[in-house]
């Protein structure tokens, strides 16, 4: 594969006749000038330096807590990515989760504002020969994806793409939803709150947490839930350009865009904010496996969504067109 494709340049791989099913630029230009907060965020991401690019890759490795965050997202992708000829990741950054898209087959399109991020993604992903040949980096904005609608079997928007969309957060979600093919899936991440932790696990010594999590998953889950949760100190800080989006709002946007919700889950509500306790569990394969299941079961409970530091939402488009717009796009 050649270099990064710039979205505005009408790349050759997108200049196809109407009968070619590959994603191609939308004939209708729906661009609108973003508001100041969103524009500032976009410019910052376009101009990322090498340090910030490397720091983004390191967010999900190097500590047991980062391992927990990474593995829970990978498991979520594994449950919901839809096999098919076209996969799209909006805001992939350095490509941390892109291999999951490659495993379900087809062309993998990475759409990002940052040339540096796309170059870093190519550097990491070329180590996977079966994916490198199907990788298509595209320089562009997720607010206005340069493809025709209803083309991608899976569309993934992880990380802080939606939050840093600021006042354009809803438009980004709707633009991503419009890319989802019939029977395709959209997977997004939102960040509504500061995060929380289990009261019960927080008062146990780290070694006791590991021993507890060797117990049956259902028992552990119910025991943790019974004592309740407490807010964690927010590490996000105040950032006027970041928009917290709660689960009911995101679900409403997705449903209004014609999708059906398949799963909503808070990420690591039990001990994600407790690095010493996560570290004690990481070295015990049984306790670690149980922890992943416990976190997913607790995270699926709606009462865990309000204060969650991160929530993953999976939605699906019906296999047959449900609106006149869907029917028109499907024909094209």
Name every residue whose Cβ is closer than 8 Å to that of residue 239 and which is 6 or more positions away in sequence: none
What one-character DSSP code corresponds to residue 6?
Answer: E
pLDDT at 57: 82
pLDDT at 59: 85
Per DSSP bridges, beta strands 196-198 and 152-157 are unpaired
Give the C-alpha separation, 264 to 296, whole Å.
Answer: 10
- Structural domain spans, the chain: 36-192+242-273+301-318
User: pTM for the whole thing?
Assistant: 0.84
Domain topology for 36-192+242-273+301-318: Rossmann fold (3.40.50)
Backbone angles phi, psi at 139, to 5 degrees: -85, 115
**Tokens linked to 299:** 């995270």
What are the per-10-residue average pLDDT scores of the chain (332 residues)? 48 38 43 50 68 80 95 98 97 95 95 92 91 94 94 96 91 97 98 95 96 97 96 65 92 98 98 94 97 98 97 95 57 54
Cα angle at 120 between 130 and 25, to 5 degrees?
A: 75
pLDDT at 177: 98
| Cβ 57 vs Cβ 77: under 8 Å | no
Per DSSP bridges, beta strands 229-231 and 196-198 are antiparallel
**Tokens linked to 284:** 């015990």
């Amino acid at each position: 594969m050649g270099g990064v494709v710039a979205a505005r340049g009408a790349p050759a791989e997108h200049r196809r006749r109407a009968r070619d099913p590959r994603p191609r630029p939308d004939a209708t230009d729906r661009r609108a000038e973003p508001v100041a907060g969103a524009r500032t965020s976009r410019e910052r991401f376009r101009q990322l330096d090498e340090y910030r690019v490397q720091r983004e890759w390191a967010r999900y490795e190097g500590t047991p807590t980062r391992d927990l965050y990474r593995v829970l997202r990978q498991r979520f992708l594994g449950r919901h990515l839809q096999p098919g000829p076209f996969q799209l990741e909006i805001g992939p950054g350095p490509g941390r989760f892109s291999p999951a898209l490659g495993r379900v087959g087809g062309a993998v399109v990475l759409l990002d504002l940052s040339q540096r991020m796309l170059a870093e993604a190519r550097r990491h992903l070329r180590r996977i020969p079966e994916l490198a040949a199907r990788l298509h980096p595209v320089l562009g904005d997720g607010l206005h994806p340069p493809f025709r609608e209803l083309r991608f079997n899976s569309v993934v928007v992880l990380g802080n793409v939606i939050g840093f969309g600021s006042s354009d957060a809803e438009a980004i979600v709707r633009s991503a939803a419009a890319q989802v093919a019939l029977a395709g899936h959209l997977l997004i991440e939102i960040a509504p709150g500061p995060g929380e932790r289990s009261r019960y696990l927080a008062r146990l010594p780290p070694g006791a947490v590991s021993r507890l999590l060797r117990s049956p998953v259902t028992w552990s889950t119910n025991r943790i839930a019974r004592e309740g949760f407490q807010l964690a100190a927010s590490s996000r800080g105040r950032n006027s350009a970041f928009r917290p989006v709660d689960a009911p709002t995101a679900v409403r946007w997705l449903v209004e865009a014609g999708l059906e919700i398949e799963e909503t889950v808070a990420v690591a509500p039990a001990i994600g904010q407790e690095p010493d306790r996560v570290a004690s569990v990481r070295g015990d394969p049984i306790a670690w496996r149980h922890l992943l299941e416990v976190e997913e079961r607790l995270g699926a409970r709606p009462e865990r969504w309000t204060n969650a530091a991160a929530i993953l939402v999976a939605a699906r488009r019906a296999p047959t067109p449900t609106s006149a717009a869907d029917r028109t796009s499907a024909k094209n």
